């Protein structure tokens, strides 16, 4: 299968199924058998995913992409061996990061629900026009891309987490803050945004936020 067919949902599903790391192998860049150059799409996807993982508290090193040809058997064995060694050193998913399993699952589920939206964001705002490894490195190292990922993706992930929690029962700002490990001021910002959009309301009787 072309590495360009790897979907973000596949990656998230692997982690939701308790995999501790995900390795993606693709053809060498600029040597794709297809005119679409799908390996560049995969490279962009992995870069986005790594930045998102870092922001939700997961070690981005748990996801790796490498490019090689079918003749690189020895290289492939070494790369996979090194990746497995690194994952073992990181430890089980969430444990190495100090994130409890319930919180981890909440974050990954919120991210999973956003996959169709992230595909759109990637196509419209986060796609690199020049096909070269250097161009991808420079693009994803830029502060503008960091800001876009925070504004376009991370805020929505946090919204999704809060909506999931409030779907279980009404909660106060402090309770949500403790559950998500986020400062109360940030949680309140998200709640105000969700309230303006009509998704949540403040229950005066319970003195807690609830789903609208």
Closest CA to 51 of 123, 113, 128, 139: 139
Cβ atoms 159, 166 nearer than 8 A: no
Residue-level pLDDT at 5: 86
Specify the pLDDT at position 94: 93
CA distance 38 to 2: 7
Confidence of residue 37 (pLDDT cuts 50, 70, 90): confident
Contacts 24+ apart (CB under 8 A), 96-105: 96/59, 97/57, 97/58, 97/59, 98/57, 99/57, 99/58, 99/181, 103/179, 103/180, 103/181, 104/57, 104/58, 105/16
| Residue 43 pLDDT | 94
Q: What is the per-residue pLDDT for 141?
A: 94
Q: What is the pLDDT of residues 99-108, one digit of tens each?
A: 889 889 999 9
Q: Which of 128, 154, 123 is nearest to 140 (CA)?
A: 128
Instruction: Note the pLDDT of residue 69.
Output: 87
Q: Between β-strands 22-26 and 200-203, what pairing exists: parallel, antiparallel or unpaired?
A: unpaired
Strand partners, 64: 23
SS3 210: strand
Residue reference for tokens 């100090």: 98
Digit-coded pLDDT (tens) for 123-133: 999 999 898 99
d(CA 31, CA 12): 28
Picking from 30, 64, 49, the residue whose alpha carbon sits closest to that of residue 134 is: 30
Convert the pLDDT of each residue in 48-87 to its tens digit.
Answer: 999 999 999 999 999 999 999 888 899 999 999 999 999 9
């Amino acid at each position: 299968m072309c590495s360009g067919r790897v979907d973000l949902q596949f990656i998230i599903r692997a982690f939701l199924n308790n995999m501790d790391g995900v390795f993606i192998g693709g053809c060498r860049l600029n040597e794709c058998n297809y005119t679409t150059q799908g390996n560049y799409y995969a490279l962009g996807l992995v870069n986005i995913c790594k930045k998102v993982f870092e922001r939700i508290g997961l070690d981005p090193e748990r996801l790796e992409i490498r490019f090689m040809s079918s003749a690189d058997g020895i290289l492939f064995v070494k790369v996979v061996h090194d990746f497995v060694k690194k994952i073992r050193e990181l430890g089980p998913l969430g444990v190495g990061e100090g994130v409890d399993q319930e919180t981890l699952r909440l974050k990954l589920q919120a991210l999973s629900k956003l996959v169709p939206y992230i595909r759109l964001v990637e196509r419209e705002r986060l796609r690199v026009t020049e096909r070269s490894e250097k161009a991808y490195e420079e693009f994803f190292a830029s502060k503008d891309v960091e800001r876009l990922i925070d504004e376009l993706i991370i805020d929505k992930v946090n919204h999704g987490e809060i909506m999931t929690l409030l779907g279980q029962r009404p909660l106060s700002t402090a309770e949500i803050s403790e559950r998500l490990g986020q400062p109360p001021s940030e949680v309140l910002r998200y709640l105000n945004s969700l309230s303006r959009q009509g998704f949540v309301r403040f229950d005066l009787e319970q003195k807690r936020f609830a789903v609208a």
